[in-house]
Structure 1
Amino acid sequence: MKYKGCVVKLILLISFFEGSNSVSYTDFDAFFKNITSGKNINLRPVLDHKSKVDVHMFFHLTYIQEFDEVEGKLSLSGYFNISWIDQTLTWNSTENGIEQFTLEEHIIWKPSFIIGNSYDGVTEKNQDHSVMRVQSNGVVTWTPGDNYNIVCNADVSRYPFDTQSCSLLILPWGYTFGEINVIPTYDYVVQWWFTEQHTWELIETSVVKGENLPMLEFSMKLKRYPMFYVLNLILPICLMIVINIFVFLLPPESGERVGYAVTVLLAIAVFLTISSENLPATSSPRISSISILLFADVCISAFTVLIVILSLRYYHRKDEYPVTKFMRGFVNISRKVRCEVCCFRKKNEKYYSEKENEEQIKWTDVGKEFDIVCGIFITVVVFIVHALYIIDVAV
């Protein structure tokens, strides 16, 4: 009980000091009208008109909405934090207890900026009606925010394992080096409340001040998450071209060889169409690796169709037409090479002799050897083409 009176006195003392530091609405309104009256928003807030206004700026990126590679457009969400010293807006905060206040009206000077590489055309940023905060030392902070569509030409040469570099350019509109000095607050793009995007990963940012213009370049390096495209585009393409090789294992009597080969060719052509819709119609700096791979697969598949047709012609040629000397030599060389690789020498010497081959070789034998040689050749070509693609996108 003896401390009760002390506690009450302490509470009253705190209340007295808080009351003494409070500012009434009437006092604040009078202060506001007094300090903002007579301001010319067209004049830079410097006491010496020949001096520069140092404008400090940083960009806070909150979300990457979309990157359209076909149109070359990057959509961002974020805001700029722009601050400068207004030499005509300073006061002694100890006299009235007011340390800072906010403005929502365009009644004091603020710099005019534009997005230098805006996709939607030139848009002036001084028309933004977001809150400005003014401190007693004259520091004015302005935080305009918006959705920004900027031009970013995509380099899809390694699609879908590509990395894109995009920049947001902001520069004063109508001011020269002698009037405004734009200074980056940080040498990177701020990401305090950044939300990750499911298609692109932000791996690196930087801020560069322009040399010939009073502008800032906010650069962002984006890396695509490739797994979706690997599962839905690249692996089906590889599967199509691999099963295309098995056309030579179909019996020629089935009558399905040509239909099978044409079906695979059309399937690869469909994937070529799908990939071309997602890529820009440009060859700079070079054509996409996936487009080259698909074109090569289409050529291989078309070549396979021609080989199958030619092979069936050999299979169904009547025996009354003698096998030419060239085809006999082709069959003999093919058999000998295969037996040197796969068979024992004894079997090779016992089974093959030139005279026996000349008597036994028929058009069906020519078709079989033709299938084997062409199947091995196409398999090697497919392996080389896809190995070159992997090396290109990896290295």
Structure 2
Amino acid sequence: MAEGLAFRCMPRLILTCLFFYIVNGQTYTDMNTLYTDIFTSHQKSFLPNADFSTALNVTLKLYLVAIVRFDEVDETVDVSTGIQLTWADAGLSWNPSSYGNAEFIIVRHTDVWTPKIVLVNSVETYESIGKGYDVFVTIYYNGTVVIANGDVMSAKCTANVYKFPFDSQTCDLNFVVWGISATNINLIADSNPVDLSFYRPNSDWSLESTSGESIIWNGYSNFKMTFTVKRAPLYYSIVVACPTLLFSVLNPLVFLLPIDSGDRIGLSTTILLSYAIFLTMVRLAVPVTSNPMSLLLVMMIVTIIYSGIIVAVTIYTSSLYHRDPKPKMNKVFKFFGSKIPWRKRLLAIRPMSKDNEIVDKEIQDELGAIVVEKILQVLETADTELEARHEVFLETFDSENEEDKPKINELNHDLTGMYRELCKSRSLCENLRQKIKHEQDSKLKEQNSMKHAKKNKDTQTFRGEKKYKAPIFAGSIRDYPSFKVDYERHMLSSYGKDPYALKAMFKWRSLNCCERC
């Protein structure tokens, strides 16, 4: 029966062991006694090193909490960190069995010696980390002391914004025990020197990598923590880079507008002012460091200079286009303009415009009598060829052969074209001759003695001659023989030298060969 009772009580015993934890039995009296015993003779004014022939080893572990801010212009980085320090204090050890199995005790940090950790590359102060905070330390029975404190620290970090906004920055945090050399205290990096268990990401910067190591720097033991962050480029690409590229593309498009519309200057000036306003809006978003300078900033400067040059060129070309053709060009502009191979495009010359058909006054003066004589020689050749064409035409016309009608039409077309060219050549020759004569008379102050012939469309009065009715060719092939006789008589007279009379004679009409049919 006793065995059966024990079997039935076994499950209850197992449940009791699972749900109840055997705790240490230390009481307030035990902890008070422990505190009194270890701190009665404890001295916190000097290093708690058991062997002063060697350096006191302090193990450091850094907890990176957040990257608060990174300033490229001031080259500073603000980080929130926590630091855990562990060392051995020879005067703070006890036997746990004597104090109710108490293995550790928690006291204020002012009750024991603590190392003063300072951030060497700080941009604010060189005060110890956690100073002014009420921090507690944990002391274990074997003399191990652990303290954890932290703060938001600002450190110097050299920025490289050459590839902004696609840049990455690498920064260092250097910690030392202030005022104590490496022969007395040796900072040792923990097996996991940088802990990211409490890290919170930043919206502008993403953490790429971290590392920590212990080095000797200028005779001091130094813990160096290195981290690399990469910028999020989306915002700067949309707000800064894309508008800059758009303005640089819009600038040269002003030359696609017609120069006589007057919109070139307005559009180029509007683009320049718009980009200037855009720069004032985004100037705080672009780092203005000089070593090295950002490629995006260089592109923005080149774009605004390029836009200003386009405005100047647009104004200059518009002034050339609308200028008076009579005044002479400045000698300086003329010299440099003659050296430019694309000067015609720069001057915006219109090949088919009416202004180009006007012979410049200075060019006419340079032509002089030599050009007039050459043109007269051309006129004589044209008269001779025209006479030969008349003979061929009359022979063909007299044959009255139906098969020769196409040839008659061809001769009619050629003859009419020659008449037109003859009238144009005579008109140019007479204009040049009258101009030269006018210049000579004006130099001799005899303008009032000159009498200009009165030009009518169909009639003309000549000095020493009576009114003469010019023969008019109506375009009918039946009237051509009589007109030919009148034309020959007309060409021998002084009246034949008048271009306006020639124009009135033909009225730009061609021979109408179909009337005879």
1:208 is the counterpart of 2:213:
yes
Q: 2:174 aligns with which of 161, 169, 175?
A: 169
What's the RMSD between the two structures over aligned residues? 3.3
* Distance verdict in 2 for CA 1:65–1:156, change over 3 Å: same
Shift of 1:68: 1.4
SS in structure 1 of the partner of residue 195 of structure 2: coil
Distance, in Å, in 2 between the alignment partners of 1:125 and 1:243 is 55
State the match for 2:318 in structure 1. 312
Q: Can you give the 5+ residue segments of structure 2 that lack an aligned partner in the other structure?
A: 358-517
State the match for 1:239 in structure 2. 246
Amino acid of the residue matched to residue 139 of structure 1?
A: T
Shift of 1:133: 1.4
* Distance verdict in 2 for CA 1:361–1:255, change over 3 Å: closer
Distance, in Å, in 1 between the alignment partners of 2:340 and 2:232 is 55
Distance, in Å, in 2 between the alignment partners of 1:234 and 1:177 is 50
1:294 is the counterpart of 2:300:
yes
1:66 is the counterpart of 2:72:
no
* Distance verdict in 2 for CA 1:359–1:25, change over 3 Å: closer
Q: TM-score, normalised by structure 1?
A: 0.76
State the match for 1:32 in structure 2. 35
1:277 is the counterpart of 2:284:
yes
State the match for 2:116 in structure 1. 112
* Distance verdict in 2 for CA 1:105–1:211, change over 3 Å: closer
SS in structure 2 of the partner of residue 74 of structure 1: strand
* Distance verdict in 2 for CA 1:13–1:255, change over 3 Å: closer
Shift of 1:171: 0.4
Amino acid of the residue matched to residue 172 of structure 1?
A: V
State the match for 1:229 in structure 2. 236
Identity of aligned residues (%): 25
Distance, in Å, in 1 between the alignment partners of 2:340 and 2:286 is 50
Shift of 1:173: 0.9
* Distance verdict in 2 for CA 1:86–1:188, change over 3 Å: closer
Q: Can you give the 5+ residue segments of structure 1 that lack an aligned partner in the other structure?
A: 335-356, 366-395
Q: Would the aligned equivalents of 1:167 and 1:218 in 2 still touch at CA under 8 Å?
A: yes
Shift of 1:187: 6.7
Matches within 5 A, 1:1-395: 5-7=9-11, 18=22, 21-95=24-98, 96-125=100-129, 127=131, 128-186=133-191, 189-212=194-217, 213-284=220-291, 286-318=292-324, 330=342, 360=352
Distance, in Å, in 1 between the alignment partners of 2:340 and 2:127 is 78
CA displacement 1:139-171 (0-9 Å, x = unmatched): 111111111111223222221111111111110
* Distance verdict in 2 for CA 1:182–1:188, change over 3 Å: closer
Distance, in Å, in 1 between the alignment partners of 2:20 and 2:353 is 117
Shift of 1:13: 7.6
Distance, in Å, in 2 between the alignment partners of 1:73 and 1:15 is 55
Distance, in Å, in 1 between the alignment partners of 2:21 and 2:244 is 77
* Distance verdict in 2 for CA 1:92–1:121, change over 3 Å: same
Q: Would the aligned equivalents of 1:314 and 1:363 in 2 still touch at CA under 8 Å?
A: no
SS in structure 1 of the partner of residue 313 of structure 2: helix
Distance, in Å, in 1 between the alignment partners of 2:178 and 2:62 is 18
Distance, in Å, in 2 between the alignment partners of 1:362 and 1:216 is 85
Shift of 1:332: 7.7
Q: Would the aligned equivalents of 1:79 and 1:145 in 2 still touch at CA under 8 Å?
A: yes
Q: Would the aligned equivalents of 2:50 and 2:89 in 1 still touch at CA under 8 Å?
A: no
* Distance verdict in 2 for CA 1:363–1:33, change over 3 Å: farther
